Structure 1
Amino acid sequence: MVCEEQKIIPYVRHVQKLCERFRMIEFRHTPRIQNELPDALATIFSMIKHTDTDYIDFLDIELKEHPVHCSHVEAEPDGLPWYFDIKKYLESGTYPNDSMSNQKKSIRRMTLNFFLSGEVLYRRTPDLGLL
C-alpha cells in the first residue's frame, strides 16, 4: 500500500500490521458518496489536531441490522419516573442516597433545564419557554 497523504500514514501502518494476521485480504475503493459513515468519520477526524503524528484513537462501531426506535418507556428499572431525581433535587436539594459525585453533578446540570411550579415539572426551552 502506498500513501501520499501524511495524515493517514499512521493508519496505513496499522492496517499493514493487521493484514499480516490474514491469509488473504482484498481492498476495494468505495466513493465517499456511497459510504456515509467513513465520510462522517473523516470529517470528524479532520477537526481533531494531535501533536503526536503516530497517535491513533481506536473507535468501536457497532452496526445494527435494523434501526431501533423507542418512543415510549413502559417502566423504569427502579419503578420511578425518569425525572424523579431532578424533581426531588428541585424540591428539596437532596440527591438519591447511593449517588456518586459524578451523578450528583449530572443531576445539578440537568436541573438547569427544568422549572418546578408546585407539583408540575416543566422543561425550559432555549427561548426560556416552558414545556
Structure 2
Amino acid sequence: MGQGEWATKNDKILQYANLAQRLCKMFTKIEFRHTLRDQNEFADALTKIASMIQHPESSHIDPLQISLKEEHAYNSLMEVEPDGKPWYNDIKMYLEKRDYPEGITSGQKKTVRRMANSFFLNKEILYKRTSYLGLL
C-alpha cells in the first residue's frame, strides 16, 4: 500500500476505520504509525483516557500534555503489609519456587495457586495477565 492508504483485516473495526478516515479530514496534519502488540501499552493507556473524555463538537481540542516517567509506577505505589512484605509476596514465592508461606491451610494454598494463574513472573518483576493477553 502507498502512503495514505490503509486497510482493516477485521470487519469488527471497519466502522472505526471509516470514522477515523472522516476525522482525519478535520486535522491539518496527522500521522499514523503501526505499533507491535507487545509494545502497545502506551497506546492502550491513551485509548482508555480518550474513552473517558467528552469531546466537544467544536473544531478545536486542546492538546494533551503527556510526560513519561523514568521509573515504573509500581516502584512508587507498592504498599507494605503488616508482616513487612508486599501484598504479592506469596504469589511471587509460589511462582519462583512453587513454595507456600509457612503455616497456611490447604484452602489458602489453593487460593495462592488460583491467584498465581493470573500472574507472570519475568526475572524479578511480577506482571498481571489481562484478558487480552497483555501484561500489567
Shorter-chain TM-score above 0.5: no
Which structure is richer in relative contact order (CA contacts within 8 A, separation 6 or more)? 1
Q: Which is higher, the Rg of structure 1 or of structure 2? A: 1
TM-score (norm 1): 0.43
TM-score (norm 2): 0.42
